[in-house]
Structures are given as structure tokens and as C-alpha cells.
Amino acid sequence: MSVVVVLALPGVPLFHLSIAGEVFGPRQSAPQVPAHEVRVVTERPGAVVTREGMRVEVPLGLDALAGADLVVVPWSLHAQEPVPPAVLDAVRTAHAAGARIAGCCGGTFVLAEAGLLDGRRATTHWHYTERLARLHPQVEVVPEVLFVDEGDVLTAAGTAAAIDLCLHLRRQLDGAEAANAVARGMVVAPHRSGGQAQFIETPVADDAEDDRVSQAMTWALEHLDRPLGVDDLAARAFMSRRTFTRRFRASVGTSTVQWLLQQRTLLAQRLLETTDLPVEAVADRAGFGSAVAMRTHFSRSVGLSPRDYRATFSRRSGVA
């Protein structure tokens, strides 16, 4: 069990405050998924006034950051105002003690002011990216993505991207199957990669075209064992390659090739967790073509070899 601490500061939106508890806490809809300890802390124990004007009683102070494995910093008024020195010191101390620090939306500004993002890539809500770059020129601001994982520090864009980031962290802690079960319980997409666009410019579209793209994606998910490419999905959607590529990116926020690789990796993760299939068979079912190709992409994407991933997250190991 990991200790997840949410830093509640004045002006925090109620929804932002609840995300970590939803993703990492116990879920009636998925009792088989391990629950982590979730603490909510603030600078001074007592009432925290949310963005909606509600007073939320938070009994834990900054000393409760001790022992944290993950600290989640949501949006607060400190996206627009200086952060109290005590808060900055507490965040730095938690990071130095080994906690991963995740800034969500305007929470990125707390990490930047604490110096944790110096020389690193980071993102925030598109409304604040220019301000982040102006106030913290030592940070490499990536304005267009959903979230950025720099290992020990992570940052996310808006509200939905904070869910994406927390599910990404849940996947790293407990595996894809557990993260998918949590996502199902929350009725949200189980996986959107951090590199997807924050703001998808979908023109006033031909609904029939959008529906054909969606149908092609559904078909692809049912046939990932095949060597699918852009031309195959375009043909399934009855579109030219150029039109399909444009419509796909407008709808999904990433390229068809990247999306297919993500879906193949997710399928491989689930198969490694829930079956005894040899790696070669997993590679075949996920459509990688060979175990060598899967190992290369899987290790680059997940950070573990398929064998190590199975040893960590397989249901047979009792972990997930």
C-alpha cells in the first residue's frame, strides 16, 4: 500500500480535491483492486475554502506529508498568487525524502516555485502555459500535451488530464488491469496517453465522417493481432488516407500510428497480467509481429521488460 497525500490549498476546486481519492482509494465497483492510503492535508489544519465557496474541514497539517509516496498538488489560488514558504519547504522535503510530486492544472505553479521543475519538461492548463513560461523561464513548458512524466515529478493540464495522470500513476503502481478496473468504475476512458493534445480542434464536422472514424477504431481494437496500418483503418472508414489521417487527429488528438502502438501496448499489458501466455504469443496477439519488436517498444513505453512487468503485476504473483 502506498501513501498518497493531496495538498488542499485555498481555492482548490472540489472536483480536483476528489480525484486522488477516486483513483487511489477503495472502490465498491472494484473490490479486487488494492486501495492505497489517501490523506488530505493543508498548511494549517482547519477549514479550507474551495473555489466554490464551500468550507472543507481538513484536520491534517503539512507534517502529514511525512512518509508520503506520492504528493498530488491540485489547482489553487496559488496558481495566481505566491505560494507560502512553509508549503514550498514541505513539498521540497517530501520530494527529497523520495516522494513523487504531481502538479495538476495550476498545481504545476507550486512545483515550479519550489524549484522542482528547473531544467525539466512540464505542462499546465492551456490557459496558464504562457504565464508559466514567463514566470519560470527555467522550466521547459510543453503547452499542448495532457501530462508530462519526468519520473519523480509529474505535471498535468486541466481537470480531465488530472484524472489521466492519476490513472497513469495507478497503472504504474498496480498494473493496467487494476487501472482499467478503476477507470470502469469512474466511467472514464481507461487510457489517454500524456502526449495527446490538450485542446482538440474539431471543426464543425460531418457527423457521418466522425462515426466512420469511431467505427474504424472499434474494428481495429477487435483486430489488433493483425498488422494494421493507417491504410487499413482508412479503408474501413471508406476514406482516403489523407482525409482519415486529418479526421483521426482532429478527433483523437494523436496520430493513428501512435494510437495503434498505445493500444497494442495496453493489450500486451493485460495479457501479461492475466494469462500464462509466453511472451512470443503475447506479441503475436497484440500485433507486434515479433517478441523482439514488442520487447523494444514495451520497454521504452512502460519502463519495464515484458518479463519484469509480468513478475511485478501478474495476478499469479498476488500483486494485482
- Long-range contacts from 298-305, C-beta under 8 angstroms, 24+ separation: 298/265, 298/268, 301/261, 301/262, 301/265, 302/265, 302/269, 303/172
- The CATH number that applies at residue 276 is 1.10.10.60
- 225 and 127 within one domain: no
Q: What confidence category does residue 203 fall into, taking pLDDT thresholds of 50, 70 and 90?
A: very low
Residue 194 counted as domain residue: no
- The CATH number that applies at residue 69 is 3.40.50.880
Name the residue range of residue 237's domain.
207-253
Q: What confidence category does residue 233 fall into, taking pLDDT thresholds of 50, 70 and 90?
A: very high
Q: Which residues pair with 100 in a beta bridge?
A: 70
- 132 and 61 within one domain: yes
Boundary of a domain, candidates 135, 151, 186: 186
- 156 and 26 within one domain: yes
Residue 174 counted as domain residue: yes
Residue 193 counted as domain residue: no
- 19 and 90 within one domain: yes
- Across all residues in the chain, what is the average pLDDT? 88
Q: How many whole angstroms separate alpha carbon 47 and alpha carbon 126?
A: 30
Tell me which range, 28-37, 72-81, 95-104, is most confidently predicted by mean pLDDT: 95-104
- Whole-model pTM? 0.72
Q: What confidence category does residue 160 fall into, taking pLDDT thresholds of 50, 70 and 90?
A: confident
Residue 294 counted as domain residue: yes
Q: Does pLDDT of 7 surpass 80? A: yes
Provide the pLDDT for residue 311.
85
Q: Are 257 and 230 in contact (CB under 8 A)?
A: yes
Provide the pLDDT for residue 186.
87
- 128 and 102 within one domain: yes
Helix, strand, or coil (residue 101): strand
Q: Does pLDDT of 280 surpass 50? A: yes
Residue 127 counted as domain residue: yes
Total domains in the fold of the chain = 3
- 83 and 55 within one domain: yes
- 31 or 221: which leads in pLDDT: 221
